[in-house]
Amino acid sequence: MSILIKNISEIYTGEELIKDGWIAIEGNQITALGKGSPGLAEQNYTHVLDARDKIALPGLVNLHTHAAMTLLRGYADDLPLQEWLEEKIWPQEAKLAGEDIYWGTKLAILEMISTGTTTFMDMYFQMDQVARAVEESGIRAVLSEGLIEANDGEEGLRKSLEFCKNWQGKADGRIRTMLGPHAPYTCSREYLIKTGELASANNLFLHIHIAETRKEYEDFLNNYDATPVQYLNSFGFFQNRVLAAHCVYLDEKDLEIFAENDVNVAYNPGSNMKLGSGIAPVIEMLEKGINVGFGTDGTASNNNLDLIEEARMGSYMQKVKNCLPTALNLDDILKMLTVNGARALGLEETGRIKEGYLADLILVNIEDSTHFYPHHNNLSNLFYAGSGRDVDTVIIDGRLVYKEKEFLTLDKEEIYYQVEKLRKKIFA
Amino acid sequence: MSILIKNISEIYTGEELIKDGWIAIEGNQITALGKGSPGLAEQNYTHVLDARDKIALPGLVNLHTHAAMTLLRGYADDLPLQEWLEEKIWPQEAKLAGEDIYWGTKLAILEMISTGTTTFMDMYFQMDQVARAVEESGIRAVLSEGLIEANDGEEGLRKSLEFCKNWQGKADGRIRTMLGPHAPYTCSREYLIKTGELASANNLFLHIHIAETRKEYEDFLNNYDATPVQYLNSFGFFQNRVLAAHCVYLDEKDLEIFAENDVNVAYNPGSNMKLGSGIAPVIEMLEKGINVGFGTDGTASNNNLDLIEEARMGSYMQKVKNCLPTALNLDDILKMLTVNGARALGLEETGRIKEGYLADLILVNIEDSTHFYPHHNNLSNLFYAGSGRDVDTVIIDGRLVYKEKEFLTLDKEEIYYQVEKLRKKIFA
């Protein structure tokens, strides 16, 4: 497949803004882009898209979610954390079978694609089902089984490694894998060391939750006389390449450990707000040169997968936390959603609109919606007034998966039908 | 005009949830509602709407905005407050002529109607133009000229009173007016006393900004040895009925003054976050029985007029501020957007779906969008995952103004055209 996109009002490349531009895609790569008229023979392209009144951006990267938790969206809100988890979320998750995870993930992918996400990092269970949904839908994903020692043990770790090996590079390279020890409070020191060794031996990254709540932070100080980060660092956890989710509670020393070890961070403002967890020190992380991107977390605590809204909330949270309207500005959030996100996953060949990069990109309609008027600054209008619902067209790995708001790889009605059937069966 | 709405999936009345219901409207009033089949002769109604797969709610009330600031949306973001105001916003506002205000307000009304707002409280200048836009569009509004003593003086106050008298109850009662002294730091004690006397003599409420920033709060402590609220209270300002915007910085005594004097508060979370102002003590206000609703503020600091998103942000801010996921729950924000909003404006005959109330209501489509699946809780899906863009149909004062996403009283294309023309003229 080859695609020529012409007459693009603006291209945000991940580095700069090109007014009135074009992009050429061959196979799964961006082969050329420029200003004005492409001067290429249109008949050589499978698809020629006229992007008049549209802007192009790199596809957005979601650094932390539990996709199939869409099944629990709106099932339990406004509850104290432990009651929410122990009485609502965990008992329902225990009922989910493989097929349920598959449909829940499909629902999530439907939402992610239609709101401009082209790559997501998932941590859940029954990951073969997640991989199947990713493979079929055309999205790019990095997948990790969430390992809780008490439930999964050594056997779970072995199976998870097997999953990683089976799926690494599958779906034409769209699927990558990581090991996912859930958190320092659900996996012992020994288990984390073992996981790290396996990751190292198999060239895998690690995905983990760290310091999400004040309780976790204080528990570690009480039990180990160390912050969660310093505890993990004490046995060399960060010698592996790590993508850490949340990181709401970090002290100065923790920040230094992250900076020294090139730890990548998934900032989840929506979930951290809704669960009353706290506000991550993102400004401080960026100042230290730590690579931070955005995650949505699962939809039981967000409750959507819209990264544009996530970025707005994340920016506003930093502004209000620091009483500083300049904090986490438009340029910062654009980079975090694209370049930083790709880097955090080790997918350095995506996250930009650039010659030779993978063709993961989105087109946004700036003509139809009131919040795009006046056109002082279309990127501001998208990120500070709009939402993922402004996304019009999505290309992933050089393939059109969503065109003028129509899904080309997913059957929306079938997914809605299956998910509602599940709701009636499981939650009745 | 009479309207019968049948087969409504759920009606949130402002008090309770009715599954599978109907609503009958005659003239500008809700005349009946119930469960199941209405048992009314459909041919007696001008319009019969089938609301299968839709939910009905009272129209939302925006307690604080500067509508025509849509013209400045995206013009200046991420700047320090004084630079933003003095170098960007004020110089541009000074260029705006009456016709500009009219078109800017029209753009705002377009956005408000399409996102479910049926009543808004405005504070701006050239208010005759705002009133004209309100009259033509069919929305309900309470209008106040923002009085800055140094610019407007006694003459401005006199003219503002004239505006109030001219427009009070106009547009079939859809327009009401207030006096709007801008803030305690832009109007002297004497000016505020005079404004209060005129309000009292003419049975008008007052709309004012109070304690928006820490700087304002500290300036009052330094200059008057009193908080802004206690300063205003010292000369009887709250003996008038007051709608106070922002109120981010309040101490315990301030809360008591508000409670004792039935002061109404417009909570503007989006603007307070984006400008880095702070987080208002909404939980404390509600505990004291103070009436609080939501405002969006102007779109130069928000940057949209979507009250559903505003309510979500407002809830999440309170949860994270208090590290309490139960804070400002779904029921709280629903009441604040409807019942509390109407009460704050003295429009007690709207804000509910109830026999005898004004027919201001909205229908939301729960079938078409991914974030409404699964259907565990449609109100949660709307407020925690959706946005104003889920609104399908809007009725104001018994009149269909927006039907299945089509504007019936406003020419969208004309408004976009005029606003873009203005942008090119004024901001070039």
What's residue A53's pLDDT? 97
Sign of the Cα torsion A335, A337, A343, A348 reads: negative
Write the pLDDT tens digit of every residue in B197-214: 999 999 999 999 999 999
DSSP structure class, residue B264: E
Whether the model clears a pTM of 0.90, i.e. scores above it, the answer is yes
* Nearest chain B CA: its distance from A110 CA (Å): 7
Nearest residue on chain B to A306, alpha-carbon basis: B385
Q: Tokens for B107?
A: 């753009």
Which residues, at least 6 apart from B134, have a Cβ–Cβ distance to it below 8 Å?
Answer: B105, B109, B140, B141, B143, B171, B174, B175
pLDDT above 70: percentage of residues in chain B? 100
Asked if B275 lies within 8 A of A317 by C-beta distance, the reply is no
Nearest residue on chain A to B320, alpha-carbon basis: A276
Helices then strands, counting H and E runs in chain A, come out as 16, 17
- List, in sequence order, the alpha helices (H) in A48-148: 81-83, 90-94, 98-114, 127-137
Averaged pLDDT, A260-282: 98
What's residue B426's pLDDT? 87
Chain B residue numbers with beta carbons less than 8 Å from the beta carbon of A111 are 370-371
Averaged pLDDT, B297-310: 97
What's residue B5's pLDDT? 98
The pLDDT of residue A230 is above 80:
yes
What's residue B391's pLDDT? 98
The pLDDT of residue B428 is above 80:
no
**Least confident window among B23-37, B80-94, B372-386:** B80-94
Averaged pLDDT, A373-388: 98
* Nearest chain B CA: its distance from A277 CA (Å): 6
What distance lies between CA B413 and its chain's CA centroid? 25
The pLDDT of residue A81 is above 90:
no
What's residue B304's pLDDT? 98
Asked if B275 lies within 8 A of A325 by C-beta distance, the reply is yes
What's residue B316's pLDDT? 98
pLDDT above 70: percentage of residues in chain A? 100
Write the pLDDT tens digit of every residue in B54-91: 999 999 999 999 999 999 999 999 998 889 989 999 99
Asked if A80 lies within 8 A of B320 by C-beta distance, the reply is no
Averaged pLDDT, A147-175: 98
* Nearest chain B CA: its distance from A327 CA (Å): 7
Asked if A276 lies within 8 A of B376 by C-beta distance, the reply is no
Give the phi and the psi of residue A74 in degrees, each rounded to 5: 75, 5
Give chain B's largest Cα–Cα span.
68
What distance lies between CA B43 and its chain's CA centroid? 36
Chain B residue numbers with beta carbons less than 8 Å from the beta carbon of A405 are none
Q: Mean pLDDT for chain A?
A: 97
A327 within 8 A of B276, measured Cβ to Cβ: yes
Angstrom distances, CA of residue B197 to CA of A167, B174, B240, B292, B396: 75, 25, 9, 25, 33
What's residue A84's pLDDT? 92
What's residue B96's pLDDT? 94
What's residue B82's pLDDT? 86
Q: For an interface test with A, which of B82, B248, B279, B316 has the most A Cβ atoms less than 10 Å from its Cβ?
A: B316
What's residue A82's pLDDT? 86
Averaged pLDDT, A342-353: 97
Asked if B70 lies within 8 A of A373 by C-beta distance, the reply is yes
User: What is the three-class DSSP state of B298?
Assistant: coil
The pLDDT of residue B427 is above 90:
no
What's residue A427's pLDDT? 83
Q: Tokens for B380?
A: 């949660």
Name which of A299, A377, A389 is nearest B74 (Cβ-Cβ). A377
Asked if B273 lies within 8 A of A111 by C-beta distance, the reply is no
Asked if B73 lies within 8 A of A386 by C-beta distance, the reply is no
Asked if A381 lies within 8 A of B74 by C-beta distance, the reply is yes
Q: For an interface test with B, which of A17, A55, A70, A77 has the most B Cβ atoms less than 10 Å from its Cβ?
A: A77
Name which of B80, B374, B422 is nearest A325 (Cβ-Cβ). B80
Nearest residue on chain B to A386, alpha-carbon basis: B304
A121 within 8 A of A307, measured Cβ to Cβ: no
Asked if B74 lies within 8 A of A329 by C-beta distance, the reply is no
The pLDDT of residue A137 is above 90:
yes
